[in-house]
Structure 1
Amino acid sequence: MSTTSLEGGRIPVTVHRLDPGLPLPAYAHSGDAGADLYTAVDAVLDPGERVTVPTGLAIALPEGYAAFVHPRSGLAARCGLTIVNAPGTVDAGYRGEIRVTLLNTDRDTPVKLSRGDRIAQLVIQRVEHAVFVEADSLPESPRGTGGFGSTGGHAAQR
């Protein structure tokens, strides 16, 4: 597959529609980063329950790219629906069906999904391949080894 960009910096991604009854990934608005993914099955997630749903599609990404499966903000805000391993990673060499592991974080209300509902967003990004070089120590930096919570920012921590 050629990695030549199309007009506007768009990258061609070959899609195999495993379920012809579902739409291809699509951007809701011009300039959106994520293209909508749809569930191929009906599902009900009770509070705290997770389920992996198929999307009915597989993709072939050009070398040097990856796809990242992100939650939909509206579903998160309205229903508490999120993705367990957000963002999920689809590597360039993967040719299987994209599946999404969803989690209902609401404490009281089940989430009902119907076949064809938008459940996630697919973001395609260029990725670099690192060369890992072992060293006995690392160069100093202003942050140093400060990790979780080291920069503050939450009033309850004071």
Structure 2
Amino acid sequence: MNLNIDIKIVDSRIGTIFSLPDYSTPFSSGIDLRACCNKKILLYPNKTILISSGIAININNSMVTGMIFPRSGLGHKCGIVLGNLVGIIDSDFQGEIMLSIWNRQTECSFCIEPGMRIAQLVFVPIIKPKFHFVEKFNNVTKRGKLGFGHTGKF
């Protein structure tokens, strides 16, 4: 699917000191978002901070959304994830993309440096079903009303 999305540079370092948003490889699913901070930030254990990405986008298509995810290596090796776990950018949002960064480590601080690749943005299609309200379901599945986790561990 080809889709044009307008990107507005909010921080003048994007495209000069920091790389323009782009896919790292031809097979990358997301573009890296950079920490557009003015100086190194020491993020203490179990604390969050809101950091600018330096960009704003205009998706302008109600059948597409932007999803912000943590970077895998930072999450696994350093405990650095998103404070909201996954961010959603609605297609009509045009403000600056801000990143809620959480250091989920319990003992070690983490240093965020200006321009560091800190999160990633993926664009996904949206399915918007029309709801049909019913008194009961016509088909009964094997799972039915069984609760959360009822299938066990294995």
Same fold per superposition (TM over 0.5): yes
Deviation of 1:52 (Å):
1.2
What do the CA deviations read for 1:86-109 (whole angstroms, capped 9, x no partner)?
221000000001111111111111
Matched to 2:60, the amino acid is P
Q: Distance in 1 between matches of 2:20 and 2:64?
A: 19
List alignment gaps of at least 5 residues for structure 2.
none
The corresponding residue for 1:13 is 5
Do structure 1's residue 36 and structure 2's residue 36 form an aligned pair? no
For normalisation by structure 2, the TM-score amounts to 0.87
Question: How well do the aligned residues superpose, as a CA RMSD in angstroms?
Answer: 1.5
Q: TM-score, normalised by structure 1?
A: 0.85
Number of residue-to-residue matches in the alignment: 146
The offset of 1:112, in angstroms, is 0.8
SS at match of 1:132: coil
CA offsets, 1:21-57, max 9 Å, x none?
A: 0233221111111110011114221000011111011
- Cα distance in 2 for partners of 1:85, 1:143 equals 31
> 1:49 matched to which residue of 2?
47
Of all paired residues, the percent bearing the same amino acid is 28
**How far 1:132 sits from its partner (Å)?**
2.2
After TM superposition, list the pairs within 5 Å mapping 1:83-94 onto structure 2: 83-94=82-93
Off by >6 Å, runs of 4+ in structure 1: none
Tell me, in whole angstroms, the C-alpha distance in 1 between the residues paired with 2:145 and 2:50: 37
